[in-house]
Amino acid sequence: MSDLVSARIAPEIRRQGNKVLAQLGSTPSELIRSAYEYVIAKRQLPQVEPGEENRSDAMPDAASLDALVASIAQSTVGVPSSAWDAIDGGDYKAYIAAAREADYEALA
The pLDDT profile of the chain, 108 residues, written as one tens digit per residue, is 788 888 898 889 999 999 999 999 999 999 998 999 989 988 998 887 766 555 555 667 788 888 888 888 888 777 676 766 766 666 777 777 888 888 888 886
The answer to whether residues 98 and 83 touch, using CB atoms and an 8 Å cutoff, is no
Name the residue ranges covered by the structural domains of the chain: 11-42, 79-108
Cα–Cα distance, 79 to 99 (Å, whole number): 9
Running DSSP on this structure, what letter comes out for residue 93? H
Q: Is the pTM of this model over 0.75?
A: no
For residue 88, give the H/E element and its range.
none
